[in-house]
Structure 1
Amino acid sequence: MHGHHLMIRAAATTAKVVDAIEPGQLTAPTPCAEYDVRSLINHLLFWGPSLEAAAHKEALMPPAAAESDIDLTTGDCTADLADQLHRIADAWSDPAAWEGVTPLGGQDSPAPLIGGMILVEQVIHGWDLSRATGQHPTYDEDVLDYVHNETLTHAAFGREMGLYGPEIPVPSNAAQLDRALGLTGRNPQWTPA
């Protein structure tokens, strides 16, 4: 199944995770070691408008200040992020978004690469947030198949770019999501300390 068919399904599950985060959980650690829940939400809010614009072949650079210097988690940050996830998914559910090249991060890249990366990020960071906050979402099997295949295809590139950590071995008969997590350098058995 093509990624544009899966974006809305992936975003819907991740948005439910985000909506269920309690204010007292914002300082909880996540499997993504450099982020707690609040800073991971901030990261997703920081890049969200650029990812949405990329679906329309528009270049929208994030603010010039460093991500860590801008706190976008004011007010109801979980509602803000859930809305942003849905806008990104709506934009990338258009098959035309996946055609040709699109600008992101100051360069043009193949649109299917960017769309696939966004779908993977929605699921992987959704898992990060769910683990950090004690949730157990169920992603659609087609979404998980796509995420695993996309991660398998681009894991080496992700490590070169510093997006993924060293691969964590996961049994070949493990669930699709667990295998994708291992490819990104995450331990599928991670729990908060």
Structure 2
Amino acid sequence: MTTESAHDPRPLLARALDQAGKQVAAVGPDELGNRTPCADYDVRALLGHVVSVLRKLARVGAGGDARDVPDVIDDIADDGWVSAFTRARGEVERVWADDGLLDRTVELPWAALPGRDVLEAYTHEFTAHSWDLAHATRRLAELDPDLGAQALDAFSKFVRPEERGEQGPFGPVVPVPDDADVYTRLAAYLGRRP
């Protein structure tokens, strides 16, 4: 077994989900209509997307098709987001507790990857969406800079600026000062306007 194959991405995913869960729990009813940096998403829709991503991650881990889950879950009551997130996270943790799944090829709509790579990709997505929620609700000081640095490093390798445009989840890179904090640089790299 190589060092690379011995790497377990689940602890880092748990940290990213802890951070996302804190952001979800902090959202007040008066903030659900706030705009987010994600095009076409207010806070309510972004919460629905975060829950959807958890459900997709559980689905693909169990051998299902992520396309069976809508991109935004919209049937959750305004006071039900924390329990929906917690239930979906629990299902992800249950499915992905199987060590064998880390090296198994998992089919995603955009690629077929080893399970450990899938978890790393989604770790960085949850980190980015934590920033989106924190930005929309003005709670930026509560974010883990190490998670932000790892997400920025990963996105820099796999989401090349020349491969994106105005359409899709990542817009053109937005210029920011060189001394900007890591989450500002991450958001700008993903095409958000911090």
* TM-score category of the 2 structures, normalised to the smaller one: 0.7 to 0.9
Amino acid at match of 1:10: A
Q: Does 1:7 align with 2:13?
A: yes
Aligned partners of 1:174, 1:14: CA distance in 2, in Å?
Answer: 22
Residue number in structure 1 paired with 2:29: 23
Give the superposed CA RMSD: 3.0
Residue number in structure 1 paired with 2:63: 58
Residue number in structure 2 paired with 1:159: 164
Amino acid at match of 1:164: F
3-state SS in 2 of match to 1:115: helix
Residue number in structure 2 paired with 1:36: 42
Provide structure 1 residue ranges, at least 5 long, that are not aligned to the other structure. Answer: 189-193
- Select between 25-34 and 151-160 the one with higher mean Cα deviation: 151-160
Provide structure 2 residue ranges, at least 5 long, that are not aligned to the other structure. Answer: 1-6
- Structure 1 residues 173 and 16, CA, compared in 2 at 3 Å: closer, same or farther? same
Residue number in structure 2 paired with 1:116: 120
Residue number in structure 2 paired with 1:102: 106
| Contact 1:11–1:89 (CA under 8 A) maintained in structure 2 | no
Residue number in structure 1 paired with 2:88: 84
Of residues 175, 179, 186, the one that matches 1:180 is 186
State percent identity of aligned pairs.
25
1:62 Cα offset (Å): 4.4
Q: Which has the higher contact order (CA 8 A, sep 6+)?
A: 1
Aligned partners of 2:110, 2:131: CA distance in 1, in Å?
Answer: 28
3-state SS in 2 of match to 1:28: coil
1:90 Cα offset (Å): 6.6
- Structure 1 residues 169 and 95, CA, compared in 2 at 3 Å: closer, same or farther? farther
| Contact 1:49–1:60 (CA under 8 A) maintained in structure 2 | no
| Contact 2:62–2:95 (CA under 8 A) maintained in structure 1 | no
Residue number in structure 2 paired with 1:136: 140
Aligned partners of 1:171, 1:185: CA distance in 2, in Å?
Answer: 15
Amino acid at match of 2:49: H
| Contact 2:34–2:136 (CA under 8 A) maintained in structure 1 | yes
3-state SS in 2 of match to 1:142: helix
Number of aligned residues: 185
| Contact 2:35–2:41 (CA under 8 A) maintained in structure 1 | yes
- Structure 1 residues 80 and 109, CA, compared in 2 at 3 Å: closer, same or farther? same
